[in-house]
Chains A and B, each alone.
Chain A
Amino acid sequence: MPIDTIFEAIKNLRREGIKTFLTLLGVVIGIMAIVSLASIGAGLSESVTAQFEELGSNTIFIIPSGMGVAKISLTQNDIRNVENIIGVKSVVPIYSTQAKMEFNGKKINVSVNAVEEDKSDLFGGTGYFEVGEGRNFSKNESSSILVGNKIGKDYFDKEINIRKQILINDVAFKVIGILEAQPASFGGAPNSSSVVYMSYEGFKKITDKTDATIIFASSQFKDETSDVAEKIKDYFDKKYGEESVTVSASEQLLDQINVMLGMITLFIMGIGAISLVVGGVGIMNAMLTSVLQRTKEIGTYKALGATSQKILAIFLIEAGLIGLIGGIIGIIFGYATASLIAYIGTESGFALNAIMTSDIIITSLLFSMTIGIVAGILPAIRAANLDPVEALRFE
């Protein structure tokens, strides 16, 4: 009846009290590290996926290569040519420039982003921004702007309110909305808190620039997205040379980000695994000491009829239980830690989310139990092989 053996093992662990607790600690810390990181990693991957889903999986990003110091620019001609590629449903170019903003007698530099006004819905729909106070653009609004949260609240001595007049490159604009403060994310969106948004009509009033910074294209059909992206890439490769423009379908981008995230998570989890192995050595050490201390007890068990297998089972189950219990506590604390990290991260402007999956739970429990049992094998064999007469004579 192995149930008896399990009960005995549990009782033994309880009797050992503080020693059991210290042995558990090694496992708890290792599992805690692994679980908290796995939980944050899963949360990140989930939120990135959600962002891309919002974007639509038939979105194609067209970005000049070489962030910031792009060698080429996307001209109006390019935009029209992309529009005419078969399979492309719509094209949303985004324009941006640096400009001087004047309010309340003070001038600062801001970056201005713009989109053609008949496409401003799409602009918002990409998750670029969310309007907090005020409203989004409607038609024919060449002198309206949306202002980032930081600009509105912090950059000037006076807070900017809706309906205030502002000068950008000496052209007058009316503030129609203040953007929601948004945590930075992996979605590729710029931080919207220190940016000004306007329509392309307004943009043309403050600069001569007609080149787009990014183009969002969308394909007619979802399953053609990567083919269409390929065609767009061919067009740019021919015109500007290989790799001058990065063209990626949202799904590809998502895969890339997830692979990267997975690698980071795996690396940090590897460190957690090393600490678990250290925990395993702790279990082995505790069990070896315990076998030595309980030599006489083992001799007594044998005199009373315990087989070597039974002694082996008692010690293996004890070690396995330490692993299992340590695993359970580690999962609870690990999730708590992950939630805390996520909370602090989100508060300080970096979107994090802790989630718990059955995969994480099952894997870490199996892992911690295996560590316990493997660490327990040597001490258990030693206990099982004790000669009963010598064990009873042991002082």
Chain B
Amino acid sequence: MVIKKVTEKEKNIRANIRAKNESVIKVEDVYKIYKLDGIEVRALDGVSFDVKKGEYISIMGPSGSGKTTLLDALSTMMNPTSGNIFIEGKNTTAMSPSELAAFRGNKIGFIFQTFNLLPKLSALENVMVPMWINNYPRNLRKKTATEVLEKVGLGDRLHNRPNQMSGGQRQRVAIARALALNPNIIVADEPTGNLDSKSGKNVMELLRKLNEEGKTIVLVTHDLNLGETTDRQIYIKDGKIVSKREDAFGNRFK
């Protein structure tokens, strides 16, 4: 997979802009501990970091290291055992479940490895799901949904159902759905995991484009090449953030 690497110069420019921005996501000493038959599994073991507005970061680490758990926690899908998550300055761990749902629906767009489209709905209807859930004005739904689908290059597939589309097209429908309510934050857990390299590249280019338009993006991947294309990487191993890639993956990749 050949994806345009960000040049050092570009990286520096981004870093400078970022430093001036406020944090969009602030993860503060987060623990997630599962107890299975009396045995403790520390899926997250004291994690803290910030994501600035407009940043494009990847969370990387080997299988079972806690990437998905971290993403679920910072996207308010699960409550951490302890610690706080702030999104746009609001402490989400203090919110009630229904406040959280509405907050999540409007602020965060989700992209999943397995797409999670509703199989019996057309592309257009799938994109409209977050709209009726979050009470988006009825008369604008079709128009907006069509626009985002055109944006991801599926203007000619509006009425196809998921099983009438390729994997790459399905993931683009899912991206359009994530964009439906124009959220500031997009989270993606292994969005290319189920795709061939060409479709995967296509999806990654789309994410890059969205970031350039100002979206803050958090990508989870265990694919080093993909991770390197983002502005910044957070390496994680056994539920802890480690500073260097080698600490997470060992010296196998150099």
Q: A residues bordering B, Cβ < 8 Å?
A: 1, 4, 7-8, 15, 296-297, 299-310, 387-389, 392
| A308 near B98: Cβ-Cβ < 8 Å | yes
| A392 near B112: Cβ-Cβ < 8 Å | yes
Q: B residues bordering A, Cβ < 8 Å?
A: 72, 77-78, 97-98, 101-102, 104-106, 110, 112, 116, 118, 120, 129-130, 132-135, 138, 177
| B118 near A300: Cβ-Cβ < 8 Å | yes
Report A-chain residues with C-beta under 8 Å of the C-beta of B106: 305
| B102 near A307: Cβ-Cβ < 8 Å | yes
| B98 near A307: Cβ-Cβ < 8 Å | yes
Jot down 10 A-B pairs with beta carbons below 8 A, ordered by A: A300-B116, A304-B130, A304-B133, A304-B177, A305-B104, A307-B102, A387-B78, A388-B77, A389-B72, A389-B77
Report B-chain residues with C-beta under 8 Å of the C-beta of A303: 77, 104, 110, 116
| A306 near B116: Cβ-Cβ < 8 Å | no
| A4 near B135: Cβ-Cβ < 8 Å | yes
Q: Taking A296-B116, A388-B77, A389-B72 as contacts, is the C-beta distance between A301 and B133 under 8 angstroms?
A: yes
Q: Taking A300-B118, A388-B77, A389-B72 as contacts, is the C-beta distance between A306 and B110 under 8 angstroms?
A: no
- For A387, give the chain B residue with the smallest CB separation: B78
Q: How far is the CA of A309 from the CA of B99 in the complex (A)?
A: 12
| B130 near A305: Cβ-Cβ < 8 Å | yes
| B118 near A305: Cβ-Cβ < 8 Å | no
Q: How far is the CA of A303 from the CA of B177 in the complex (A)?
A: 12
Report B-chain residues with C-beta under 8 Å of the C-beta of A389: 72, 77-78
Q: Taking A297-B118, A310-B133, A388-B77 as contacts, is the C-beta distance between A304 and B97 under 8 angstroms?
A: no
Other A-B pairs beyond A297-B118, A309-B98, 10, CB < 8 Å: A1-B132, A8-B132, A296-B116, A302-B77, A303-B104, A304-B105, A304-B130, A305-B101, A305-B133, A306-B133
Q: Taking A300-B116, A300-B118, A389-B77 as contacts, is the C-beta distance between A305 and B97 under 8 angstroms?
A: no
Report A-chain residues with C-beta under 8 Å of the C-beta of B118: 297, 300
Report A-chain residues with C-beta under 8 Å of the C-beta of B97: 307-308
Q: How far is the CA of A360 from the CA of B77 in the complex (A)?
A: 49
Report B-chain residues with C-beta under 8 Å of the C-beta of A301: 129, 133
Q: How far is the CA of A388 from the CA of B73 in the complex (A)?
A: 12
Q: Taking A4-B132, A301-B133 as contacts, is the C-beta distance between A307 and B112 under 8 angstroms?
A: no
| A305 near B78: Cβ-Cβ < 8 Å | no
Report A-chain residues with C-beta under 8 Å of the C-beta of B104: 303, 305
| Least distance between B88 CB and chain A CB atoms (Å) | 16
Q: How far is the CA of A15 from the CA of B134 in the complex (A)?
A: 22
- For A393, give the chain B residue with the smallest CB separation: B68
Checking B98, B110, B138 against A304 with a beta-carbon cut-off of 8 angstroms, the contacting residue is B110
Report A-chain residues with C-beta under 8 Å of the C-beta of B112: 392
Report B-chain residues with C-beta under 8 Å of the C-beta of A308: 97-98, 101
Report A-chain residues with C-beta under 8 Å of the C-beta of B78: 387-389
| Least distance between B254 CB and chain A CB atoms (Å) | 34
Report B-chain residues with C-beta under 8 Å of the C-beta of A302: 77, 101
Report A-chain residues with C-beta under 8 Å of the C-beta of B129: 300-301, 304
Q: How far is the CA of A297 from the CA of B133 in the complex (A)?
A: 13
Q: How far is the CA of A1 from the CA of B104 in the complex (A)?
A: 18
Q: How far is the CA of A304 from the CA of B181 in the complex (A)?
A: 10
Q: How far is the CA of A3 from the CA of B101 in the complex (A)?
A: 19
Q: How far is the CA of A309 from the CA of B102 in the complex (A)?
A: 12
Q: How far is the CA of A299 from the CA of B129 in the complex (A)?
A: 13
| Least distance between B25 CB and chain A CB atoms (Å) | 17
- For A15, give the chain B residue with the smallest CB separation: B120
- For A1, give the chain B residue with the smallest CB separation: B135
Report B-chain residues with C-beta under 8 Å of the C-beta of A8: 132
Q: How far is the CA of A15 from the CA of B120 in the complex (A)?
A: 7
Q: How far is the CA of A223 from the CA of B107 in the complex (A)?
A: 78
Report B-chain residues with C-beta under 8 Å of the C-beta of A309: 98
- For B132, give the chain A residue with the smallest CB separation: A4
| Least distance between B142 CB and chain A CB atoms (Å) | 14
Q: Taking A388-B77, A389-B72, A389-B78 as contacts, is the C-beta distance between A305 and B105 under 8 angstroms?
A: yes
Q: How far is the CA of A305 from the CA of B104 in the complex (A)?
A: 6
Q: How far is the CA of A180 from the CA of B21 in the complex (A)?
A: 100
- For B103, give the chain A residue with the smallest CB separation: A305
Report B-chain residues with C-beta under 8 Å of the C-beta of A296: 116
- For B97, give the chain A residue with the smallest CB separation: A308
Report B-chain residues with C-beta under 8 Å of the C-beta of A15: 120
- For A306, give the chain B residue with the smallest CB separation: B133
Q: How far is the CA of A296 from the CA of B118 in the complex (A)?
A: 9
Q: How far is the CA of A134 from the CA of B178 in the complex (A)?
A: 88
- For B100, give the chain A residue with the smallest CB separation: A307
Q: How far is the CA of A234 from the CA of B135 in the complex (A)?
A: 78
- For A388, give the chain B residue with the smallest CB separation: B77
Q: How far is the CA of A304 from the CA of B132 in the complex (A)?
A: 10
| Least distance between B234 CB and chain A CB atoms (Å) | 20
| A392 near B102: Cβ-Cβ < 8 Å | no
| Least distance between B93 CB and chain A CB atoms (Å) | 15
Report A-chain residues with C-beta under 8 Å of the C-beta of B102: 305, 307
Q: How far is the CA of A309 from the CA of B104 in the complex (A)?
A: 15
Report B-chain residues with C-beta under 8 Å of the C-beta of A306: 101, 105, 133
Which 8 A-B residue pairings sit nearest by Cβ, starting from the closest? A305-B105, A307-B98, A4-B132, A304-B130, A307-B101, A15-B120, A300-B116, A306-B133
| Least distance between B52 CB and chain A CB atoms (Å) | 24
Q: How far is the CA of A128 from the CA of B133 in the complex (A)?
A: 69
